[in-house]
Structure 1
Amino acid sequence: MPAVHPDTQALLTLIRESGRPPYEVLSPLAARRAYAAGRALLQPAPVEVAELRDVTIMGKTGEVPLRLYRGVDTSAANVLPCLLYLHGGGWVFGDIDSHDGVCRRLANDARCCVVAVDYRLAPEHPFPDAIEDCMAALAWVAGNAGALHIDAAQIAVAGDSAGGNLAAVLALMGRDGTVPPSVFQALLYPVVDLTMSAESYERITEGVPVTAKTMRYFVDHYLPDVAQRTDWRASPLRAPNLHGAPPALVLTCGHDPLCDEARQYAWRLERDGVRVATLHLSDQVHGILTMGKVIGATDGILAFIAAALRDAWRTAAGAAP
């Protein structure tokens, strides 16, 4: 096993000594409460942004809450590139509050508009409800670009963990014309294969916040029908080809059961002719982007993601360096 970063090791020791039960032994409601309770301990104080407002749109079967951010030092009159951000949490927990700090940082550092999606959660709303909400959000953003003062030709998608899964699916749907196209996809320790057959599921089994058992708990709630797990809308790694997908950033962590499938997805993107940058953190665990108060590397990682977004928007627009 690769070495663990000292900050991360301290966090793992704290979790172990606290006696906090793993998510997979909790009911979904209790898991949501446990995840929310850790926010104050793990996340730094939110940074200021130029604008933050909550809106609600109509999805396929009901309302979908969104949160809109505009980066600091931008004005309402500026036409900005836009990032549709899809939060993590195994499709079972997480919301626009849990990833508020991440969205604020990306809005500021990438100098963009971020739209966070509060999609429906499992098990109350299993596959494909979450992806349908995200499709509705992307269509709404593109359709209201003028009123939102964003550039409809400069929309990127991003997400961590389960959100990375949803972002990858949206990117492929955009390629195929099912939803508005995106110019970039940032897949941050994403779930891309719900068959859970990668070798890292055998390797990452204990001692970290998200293990193979945790992922099985999430997947069983999100898509209980095993036969559907090879559907590419659930497992984008199973798509016949990735040619024509937007350029990508794929972030992976060594102490994460999702590590191997996400690295395989990056390899397939490259093989199929998609420009892809990979950032592999061998000494880190799943979920670090919402652990910035205790893991010092998180700050630089968010800055790197923002730099990748700025570069993607610059090159998509054909601008000089």
Structure 2
Amino acid sequence: MPVHPEIKKILDSIPPYNPNHKVIPEEHRKMFDAPILPVEQRVQVYAVEDKIVSTPEADVPVRIYTPGESDSYPVLLFFHGGAFFSGSLESHDEVIRPICMESGYKVVSVGFRLAPEHPFPAALNDCYNVTKWVTEHKGELQWDGRNLALAGDSSGGNLVAAVSLMAREKKEFTLTKQVLLYPSLDLDFSKFRYPSLTENGTGYFVESAQLAKLNGFYLRGNVDTDHPLVSPIREDRLENLPTAFVLTAEYDPFRDEGELFAENLSKCGVHVETKRYEGITHGFLGKFTHLDEYKDVYKRIGNFLKKSVVRS
């Protein structure tokens, strides 16, 4: 279907992409963190707590969202998007609140270290270590000890897939579900391998021609983009991974790699649910979920998280 008319108005107002534009991380972060709604107008949750988690590599800020009073909770770790060099606990507060309330999960949002100050694998290790910390602080978090899920959008979806692979290999804890929201799963941009990178590569908020530059902040040094912890779609063995929900957007450059990853998971025996939202672009959660066509997205995520784990 065509781009939603309300979104098209915004797209038409954006100046054409300038390949000579220099991306300055600090400036991009300020723009990315700018809230759409004031806190009092966001979905209200029972409790919100900020704290610092000490891990072997870094002290990592987290924000913990509690949906209501209970003796125990399933727990969801959320890894924010922002191309690994932007995004924060603030940038995704509006997204996490409705996920928390629709799912009934206690959500731990992870403020992992950002590139270029902290290139690969800093963000990945922070996400893994905070997840491990959750399992070691069951009493403090009132975790039910059974349901431990991951969710993330865009580059955060990459981190979800990579942490799931790490957890399978290390066997230090067991993940039950993974939610990948318009994920970026292949960081080798030397060749556009997916039709959506070309079809949706210009004029839809995310410019495919800029992806190598943006992700270059994260991939400092001699990083192998074929490694599955960098580009999870390159992993051939996807057996014994958590039940997955993969959400994609019609006018997103990353659409096809997300859908291919879902197919690959399914072929390896992982139960997968998918949803492509039509007429919408990358990064629409928190920005366009007020539109009728997309209001159900948080309920859909919540329903997936509340279901019993399905083993194929």
Shift in Å, 1:213: 2.4
* Structure 1: 5+ residue stretches without partners: none
Are the structure 2 counterparts of residues 44 and 168 from structure 1 closer, same or farther at C-alpha, using a change threshold of 3 Å?
farther
Contact 1:202 1:212 in 2 (8 A): yes
Distance 1:254 1:103 in 2: 23
Q: Deviation digits for residues 183-229 of structure 1, max 9, x if unmatched?
A: 00000001111113323222222212112123222221111446511
More helix by share: 1
Instruction: Give the aligned partner of residue 48 of structure 1.
Output: 44
Instruction: Give the aligned partner of residue 181 of structure 2.
Output: 188
The RMSD of aligned alpha carbons is: 2.4
Shift in Å, 1:162: 0.6
- Whether 1:171 aligns to 2:164 is yes
Matches within 5 A, 1:64-213: 64-71=60-67, 74-75=68-69, 77-196=70-189, 197-213=193-209
Instruction: Give the aligned partner of residue 7 of structure 1.
Output: 6
Are the structure 2 counterparts of residues 216 and 24 from structure 1 closer, same or farther at C-alpha, using a change threshold of 3 Å?
farther
Distance 1:172 1:136 in 2: 14
Match of 2:23 among 20, 23, 26: 26
Instruction: Give the aligned partner of residue 253 of structure 2.
Output: 257
Instruction: Give the aligned partner of residue 299 of structure 2.
Output: 303
Shift in Å, 1:20: 9.6
Secondary structure of the residue that 2:240 maps to in structure 1?
A: coil
Q: Deviation digits for residues 274-298 of structure 1, max 9, x if unmatched?
A: 1001101231100001204664444
Aligned residues: 308
The code of the aligned residue for 2:8 comes to Q
The code of the aligned residue for 1:166 comes to L
Instruction: Give the aligned partner of residue 274 of structure 1.
Output: 270
Contact 1:24 1:217 in 2 (8 A): no
Shift in Å, 1:4: 0.8
Distance 2:47 2:135 in 1: 19
Distance 2:116 2:290 in 1: 31
Q: Deviation digits for residues 106-129 of structure 1, max 9, x if unmatched?
A: 111111100000001111111100
Matches within 5 A, 1:217-296: 217-225=213-221, 228-292=224-288, 295-296=291-292
Shift in Å, 1:178: 4.6
Q: Deviation digits for residues 241-291 of structure 1, max 9, x if unmatched?
A: 101111100011121111111111001001111100110123110000120
Are the structure 2 counterparts of residues 246 and 289 from structure 1 closer, same or farther at C-alpha, using a change threshold of 3 Å?
same
Task: State, as a whole percentage, how many aligned pairs show the same letter.
Answer: 32
Contact 1:165 1:192 in 2 (8 A): yes
Match of 2:33 among 22, 32, 36: 36
Shift in Å, 1:92: 1.1
Give the TM-score normalised by structure 2.
0.91
Distance 1:223 1:179 in 2: 27
Are the structure 2 counterparts of residues 131 and 208 from structure 1 closer, same or farther at C-alpha, using a change threshold of 3 Å?
same
Segment of structure 1 superposing worse, 262-271 or 190-199: 190-199
The code of the aligned residue for 2:22 comes to V
Distance 2:178 2:20 in 1: 28
Shift in Å, 1:181: 1.7
Secondary structure of the residue that 2:112 maps to in structure 1?
A: coil
Give the TM-score normalised by structure 1.
0.89
Are the structure 2 counterparts of residues 43 and 159 from structure 1 closer, same or farther at C-alpha, using a change threshold of 3 Å?
farther
Q: Deviation digits for residues 31-60 of structure 1, max 9, x if unmatched?
A: 1122223x3379993121111101101123
Are the structure 2 counterparts of residues 92 and 44 from structure 1 closer, same or farther at C-alpha, using a change threshold of 3 Å?
farther
